[in-house]
Amino acid sequence: TGVQTCALPISGTWRIARQLLSESIVLATLAGGVGVLIAAWGQSAIRYFGEDQLPRLNEVQISGQVLLFTLAVSVLTAVLFSLLPIFKAARPDINEVLKAGAKGATSGSGLRLWRDSLVVAEVALGLVLLAGAGLMIRSFGRLVSISPGFDAENVLTGQINLSGQAYEKTEARVQYLNETLARLKALPGVESAAFAAPMPFSGGNVGSDFRIEGRPQPEPGQEPDANNRSVTPEYFQAMRIPLLKGRHFTEQDQRGGIGAAIINEALASRYFSNEDPIGKYITHIGANQNEGDPERWQIVGVVGNVRHSSLTRPANPEIYLPFQQNSWSWGNLFIRTKNDPAALARGFSEAIRSADRTVLLTGVRPLSDAITNTIAQTRFYTFLFALFGAVGLILTLTGIYSVISYTVAQRTQEIGIRMALGAQTGDVLQLVIRQGMTLALIGVVAGLASAFGLTRLMETLLYGVKATDPLTFTAIALILMAVALLACWIPARRAALIDPLSALRSE
């Protein structure tokens, strides 16, 4: 009775070790095969979402050497994690065997603590991953819902460069543009056509200081400043930028007199906060001034703010000038169409080149694509976080389900005895579910504590959402608890259907 353990013969130990190792290696190989399939799918998904973010991504292939290495790691992991149960099986505790029966021989308190710790760790890790994914998804949702200040749908644009001696004079540039716009408007399916320099989301901005007539000379470095844009009269209607006050440009806004200027709401709020800007004069606009351009510009209108380069950056003060009074040698022509603008790309290009084959045309694309490209990095990061979050959710589900199923199998006789003594189905369900949900709750608490610290590292990736957003953390915790409940309910339901007589005979 004083003997606690006994060593099995070497041959018996080897048979047990061989059986456990064989089972582990088979499972590891099957898991590796599934991993290869997931890797192939993941490669295609990453290519789709990360094409503009990772250099030479199209050249990336699944390497045979990498697959062999990962397979070796999988098998090695299986072997290492099999050593502890092999050691326990080789030196069983006789008292535990006599008390718990054959099925409990390798299921001591140490192993139970180890399994429970793994489940808690899986739940905590899953919550951290899901919290990151939830924050990125909420941030991306906020980002794509931002209005740029204009309607980018069904707009096709392309950049032109009027270089060379032929376009040194303003009149030549104006004449070319008028002829080209007339050709573009004649294309089938075109609602309107216009020109802007620089175009929103074209990658350019030109700014300068200016003066407000009637105000004291500002101190050096304190001069008002704004981005300048040269546009044709139909620009605001074609882009559907709202006119808040005053009028649009017209064909009467020609060279030779006082210039007309339209400002945006941001400039009006900053420099005319307590007065009506309509009718005021601005001078010393230095951006892209040509000989003979007006020196005084009267503000004739105020339009809504436009985010010209990024959805996440607020609109800057801007001054719009008529192309006839401030012509630029480069900029973007664009058309608004009734249907898919990409279908008119060829006609759009031919109409522009038909006026002058020497004019360089580049970057023909729908304007919506230009905006989408600015959020491509955020979209890629959101996809990666969502992928990791899904992996964490699967780990949580399988981890809890596996442990609870194993526990039910180990406690079959105990459950049978309880039911034979009068325990109801609900009692058995409660017994099994309580065990799993306790582990899940501990994991959620540990995961929340970790996530509150780790998600602060991704603050620079978020827009409109705090790294410790309580709504996201609450939702993720509830989702994990719901998944844990599902993972517990399935084996608990199976336990509740155990036949007491069969359970008692199973030992």
Tens digits of residue pLDDT in 434-490: 888 898 999 999 999 999 988 888 888 888 899 989 999 999 999 999 998 988 888
Across 203-215, average pLDDT? 85
In angstroms, rounded to a whole number, what is the distance separating the alpha carbons of residues 483 and 489? 10
Instruction: Give mean pLDDT, residues 22-42.
Output: 77
Instruction: Summarize pLDDT for 223-243 with one digit per residue, the tens.
Output: 899 999 999 999 999 999 999
pLDDT at 358: 87
Return d(Cα 289, Cα 207) in angstroms, integer.
Answer: 12
Given a contact cutoff of 8 angstroms between Cβ atoms, the answer to whether 364 and 158 are in contact is yes
Which segment, 81-85, 419-423, 445-449, is predicted with the most confidence on average?
A: 445-449
The beta strands (E) that lie in 162-294 are given as 190-197, 207-209, 211-212, 225-231, 243-246, 259-264, 281-283
* Per-residue confidence band for 400, with pLDDT thresholds at 50, 70 and 90: confident
Report the SS3 class of residue 389: helix
How high is the pLDDT of residue 1? 43
Which H or E element spans position 371? helix 367-374
What confidence tier does 2 reach under pLDDT thresholds 50, 70, 90?
Answer: very low
**How far is C-alpha 469 from the chain's CA centre?**
17
Mean residue pLDDT of the chain comes to 83
How many residues appear in the chain? 507
DSSP string of 403-453, one letter each residue: HHHHHHHHTHHHHHHHHHTT--HHHHHHHHHHHHHHHHHHHHHHHHHHHHH
Measured distance CA(152)–CA(139) in Å, rounded: 21
Least confident of 19-23, 110-114, 239-243: 110-114
pLDDT score for 211: 92
Average pLDDT estimate for 249-262: 88
* Residue 160 CB burial class (10 angstroms; 0-12, 13-18, ≥19): buried
Give the residue, 498 or 317, on which the prediction is more confident: 317
pTM above the 0.85 mark? no
